[in-house]
Amino acid sequence: MSMLSGKAGHDLFVYGSLQDPQVVYVLLNRVPDHVSAVLSAFQRFRIKGRVYPTILPDGSGEVTGKVLKGITDAELKILDDFEDVEYDRKAVEVMLTDTSEKLQVETYAWKNKDDPDLYREWDFEEWKRHDKEDFITATKKFLEERKLPEAKTRIDTFKTFFKHDFENGKPMDS
Protein backbone atom coordinates (compact mmCIF):
# COMPACT_ATOMS: atom_id res chain seq x y z
CA MET A 1 0.00 0.00 0.00
CA SER A 2 1.18 3.51 -0.73
CA MET A 3 0.37 6.99 0.40
CA LEU A 4 2.27 8.69 -2.46
CA SER A 5 -0.92 9.50 -4.31
CA GLY A 6 -2.62 10.99 -1.25
CA LYS A 7 -4.79 7.93 -0.70
CA ALA A 8 -4.17 4.32 0.14
CA GLY A 9 -3.63 2.03 -2.82
CA HIS A 10 -1.17 -0.16 -4.64
CA ASP A 11 1.87 1.14 -6.48
CA LEU A 12 2.57 -0.86 -9.63
CA PHE A 13 5.69 -0.80 -11.81
CA VAL A 14 4.76 -1.12 -15.48
CA TYR A 15 7.26 -1.56 -18.30
CA GLY A 16 5.29 -2.43 -21.44
CA SER A 17 1.98 -1.38 -22.94
CA LEU A 18 0.73 -0.20 -19.52
CA GLN A 19 3.21 2.70 -19.76
CA ASP A 20 0.84 4.19 -22.32
CA PRO A 21 -1.84 6.42 -20.73
CA GLN A 22 -4.43 5.47 -23.37
CA VAL A 23 -4.10 1.75 -22.59
CA VAL A 24 -4.37 2.43 -18.86
CA TYR A 25 -7.41 4.64 -19.43
CA VAL A 26 -9.16 1.91 -21.45
CA LEU A 27 -8.61 -0.57 -18.61
CA LEU A 28 -9.21 1.63 -15.55
CA ASN A 29 -11.32 4.48 -16.92
CA ARG A 30 -8.72 6.86 -15.50
CA VAL A 31 -4.99 7.48 -15.64
CA PRO A 32 -3.49 7.25 -12.14
CA ASP A 33 -0.66 9.50 -11.01
CA HIS A 34 2.58 8.04 -12.32
CA VAL A 35 6.31 8.62 -12.20
CA SER A 36 9.26 7.25 -14.20
CA ALA A 37 11.28 4.52 -12.53
CA VAL A 38 13.98 1.92 -13.09
CA LEU A 39 13.88 -1.71 -11.98
CA SER A 40 17.37 -3.17 -11.47
CA ALA A 41 18.43 -6.80 -11.82
CA PHE A 42 15.72 -7.57 -14.42
CA GLN A 43 15.64 -7.80 -18.19
CA ARG A 44 12.74 -6.99 -20.55
CA PHE A 45 12.04 -9.38 -23.43
CA ARG A 46 9.96 -9.63 -26.56
CA ILE A 47 7.79 -12.73 -26.71
CA LYS A 48 7.50 -14.61 -29.99
CA GLY A 49 3.98 -14.22 -31.38
CA ARG A 50 3.00 -11.47 -28.91
CA VAL A 51 2.88 -7.68 -29.10
CA TYR A 52 3.60 -7.14 -25.41
CA PRO A 53 6.78 -7.75 -23.40
CA THR A 54 7.71 -9.43 -20.19
CA ILE A 55 10.47 -9.21 -17.63
CA LEU A 56 12.54 -11.73 -15.73
CA PRO A 57 15.15 -11.30 -13.02
CA ASP A 58 18.66 -11.57 -14.44
CA GLY A 59 20.84 -10.12 -11.68
CA SER A 60 22.44 -7.38 -13.78
CA GLY A 61 19.97 -5.77 -16.20
CA GLU A 62 17.84 -2.68 -15.91
CA VAL A 63 14.25 -2.06 -17.04
CA THR A 64 12.82 1.43 -17.45
CA GLY A 65 9.14 2.05 -16.90
CA LYS A 66 6.62 3.89 -14.77
CA VAL A 67 5.09 3.46 -11.35
CA LEU A 68 1.31 3.79 -11.42
CA LYS A 69 0.37 5.14 -7.98
CA GLY A 70 -2.75 4.59 -5.91
CA ILE A 71 -4.20 1.63 -7.79
CA THR A 72 -7.36 0.48 -5.99
CA ASP A 73 -8.11 -3.15 -5.15
CA ALA A 74 -10.81 -3.22 -7.87
CA GLU A 75 -8.37 -1.79 -10.43
CA LEU A 76 -5.72 -4.30 -9.39
CA LYS A 77 -8.22 -7.11 -10.04
CA ILE A 78 -8.77 -5.76 -13.58
CA LEU A 79 -5.02 -5.60 -14.16
CA ASP A 80 -4.52 -9.10 -12.72
CA ASP A 81 -7.17 -10.42 -15.11
CA PHE A 82 -5.55 -8.51 -17.97
CA GLU A 83 -2.10 -9.93 -17.24
CA ASP A 84 -3.75 -13.35 -17.00
CA VAL A 85 -2.04 -16.61 -16.06
CA GLU A 86 1.23 -15.89 -17.88
CA TYR A 87 2.43 -13.43 -15.23
CA ASP A 88 2.99 -13.45 -11.49
CA ARG A 89 2.49 -10.24 -9.55
CA LYS A 90 5.45 -9.82 -7.24
CA ALA A 91 7.00 -7.26 -4.91
CA VAL A 92 10.09 -5.45 -6.19
CA GLU A 93 12.09 -2.33 -5.39
CA VAL A 94 12.44 0.40 -8.00
CA MET A 95 14.32 3.66 -8.09
CA LEU A 96 12.37 6.76 -9.10
CA THR A 97 14.11 8.46 -12.01
CA ASP A 98 13.60 12.06 -10.90
CA THR A 99 14.51 11.73 -7.21
CA SER A 100 16.54 8.47 -6.96
CA GLU A 101 14.15 7.50 -4.14
CA LYS A 102 13.75 3.75 -3.69
CA LEU A 103 10.20 2.50 -3.56
CA GLN A 104 8.61 -0.87 -2.81
CA VAL A 105 6.07 -1.67 -5.53
CA GLU A 106 4.55 -4.62 -7.31
CA THR A 107 5.09 -5.67 -10.91
CA TYR A 108 4.14 -8.47 -13.27
CA ALA A 109 6.94 -10.91 -14.17
CA TRP A 110 6.81 -13.85 -16.58
CA LYS A 111 6.03 -17.16 -14.88
CA ASN A 112 8.06 -19.35 -17.24
CA LYS A 113 11.69 -18.33 -16.75
CA ASP A 114 12.81 -20.96 -19.29
CA ASP A 115 10.37 -19.92 -22.03
CA PRO A 116 12.06 -20.49 -25.43
CA ASP A 117 9.82 -17.78 -26.95
CA LEU A 118 11.62 -14.96 -25.11
CA TYR A 119 14.15 -13.03 -27.16
CA ARG A 120 15.89 -9.64 -27.39
CA GLU A 121 14.76 -6.35 -25.86
CA TRP A 122 11.22 -5.03 -26.44
CA ASP A 123 11.05 -1.40 -27.56
CA PHE A 124 8.25 0.86 -26.27
CA GLU A 125 8.68 3.50 -29.02
CA GLU A 126 8.52 0.82 -31.72
CA TRP A 127 5.40 -0.64 -30.07
CA LYS A 128 3.72 2.81 -30.09
CA ARG A 129 4.44 3.21 -33.81
CA HIS A 130 3.44 -0.28 -34.93
CA ASP A 131 1.13 -1.97 -32.41
CA LYS A 132 -0.50 0.59 -30.11
CA GLU A 133 -3.66 1.18 -32.12
CA ASP A 134 -4.42 -2.54 -32.55
CA PHE A 135 -3.46 -3.20 -28.93
CA ILE A 136 -5.98 -0.63 -27.70
CA THR A 137 -8.68 -2.18 -29.90
CA ALA A 138 -7.86 -5.67 -28.56
CA THR A 139 -7.89 -4.33 -24.99
CA LYS A 140 -11.37 -2.87 -25.50
CA LYS A 141 -12.46 -6.26 -26.88
CA PHE A 142 -11.00 -7.98 -23.78
CA LEU A 143 -13.02 -5.66 -21.51
CA GLU A 144 -16.22 -6.30 -23.49
CA GLU A 145 -15.72 -10.06 -23.34
CA ARG A 146 -14.83 -9.89 -19.64
CA LYS A 147 -18.45 -8.90 -18.94
CA LEU A 148 -19.85 -12.03 -20.59
CA PRO A 149 -20.84 -15.10 -18.53
CA GLU A 150 -18.29 -17.21 -20.40
CA ALA A 151 -15.66 -14.54 -20.80
CA LYS A 152 -12.52 -15.21 -22.78
CA THR A 153 -9.19 -14.66 -21.10
CA ARG A 154 -6.98 -11.82 -22.30
CA ILE A 155 -4.70 -14.42 -23.88
CA ASP A 156 -7.55 -15.91 -25.93
CA THR A 157 -8.93 -12.50 -26.88
CA PHE A 158 -5.52 -11.27 -28.06
CA LYS A 159 -4.69 -14.51 -29.88
CA THR A 160 -7.92 -14.26 -31.83
CA PHE A 161 -7.51 -10.56 -32.53
CA PHE A 162 -3.84 -10.61 -33.50
CA LYS A 163 -4.15 -13.90 -35.43
CA HIS A 164 -6.61 -12.06 -37.67
CA ASP A 165 -4.04 -9.28 -38.17
CA PHE A 166 -1.31 -11.83 -38.89
CA GLU A 167 -3.47 -13.44 -41.55
CA ASN A 168 -3.87 -10.00 -43.12
CA GLY A 169 -0.12 -9.62 -43.45
CA LYS A 170 0.84 -7.90 -40.20
CA PRO A 171 3.24 -9.97 -38.09
CA MET A 172 2.19 -10.46 -34.47
CA ASP A 173 5.56 -9.57 -32.96
CA SER A 174 6.47 -6.62 -35.18
Catalytic residues: 83
Element (H, E) at 21: helix 21-28
Closest to 47 in 3D by CA, of 120, 139, 117, 127: 117
CA distances from 156 to 54, 131, 142 (A): 18, 18, 9
Q: Which residues contact 141 (CB under 8 A, 6 or more apart)?
A: 157, 161
* Pairing, β 102-110 against β 10-14: parallel
Instruction: Give CA 12 to chain center in angstroms.
Output: 10
Name the DSSP class of 97.
Answer: T
Q: One-letter amino acid identity for 84?
A: D
d(CA 148, CA 132): 25
CA geometry: angle 39, 80, 73, nearest 5 deg: 95
